[in-house]
Structure 1
Amino acid sequence: MASIARSLRPCASRLIVRPSQPYRALPFAARAFSASRAAQVKRYSKDHEWVEMSADNKTAMIGISEYAASALGDVVYVELPTVPMEVAAGDSIGAVESVKSASDIISPITCKVTAVNSLLEEKPGSINQGPEDDSAAGGWVAKVVVPEAGVKDFEELMDAEKYKEFTEE
Structure 2
Amino acid sequence: MSIKFSKEHEWINAANPEAAVVGITVHAQDALGDVVFVDLPAVGTSFQQGDVTGVVESVKAAADVYMPVTGEIVEVNEALRADPSLANTDPLHTGWFFKVKLADPSQLDGLMDETAYGDFTASH
TM-score scaled by length of structure 1: 0.70
Q: Map of 1:118-157 to 2, 5 A cutoff?
A: 118-133=78-93, 138-147=94-103, 149=104, 151-157=105-111
1:166 paired with 2:120, answer yes
* CA distance, structure 2, for counterparts of residue 73 and residue 95 of structure 1: 14
Look up the match of 1:50: 11
Moved over 4 A (4+): none
TM-fit CA distance, 1:58: 3.7
Q: Map of 1:4-153 to 2, 5 A cutoff?
A: 40-54=1-15, 57-133=17-93, 138-147=94-103, 149=104, 151-153=105-107
* CA distance, structure 1, for counterparts of residue 113 and residue 30 of structure 2: 19
Letter matched to residue 54 of structure 2:
G
The 8 Å contact of residues 19 and 74 in structure 2, kept in 1 or not, is answered as: no
Size of the aligned set, in residue pairs, is 123
Letter matched to residue 21 of structure 2:
M
Two-structure CA RMSD over aligned residues (Å): 1.0
SS at match of 2:96: coil
For each residue in 1:30-64, what CA deviation from the matched residue of structure 2 results, as whole angstroms up to 9, or x when unmatched?
xxxxxxxxxx3210000000010116x44311100
User: Which blocks of at least 5 consecutive residues in structure 1 are unaligned?
Assistant: 1-39
The 8 Å contact of residues 20 and 102 in structure 2, kept in 1 or not, is answered as: yes
User: Which blocks of at least 5 consecutive residues in structure 2 are unaligned?
Assistant: none
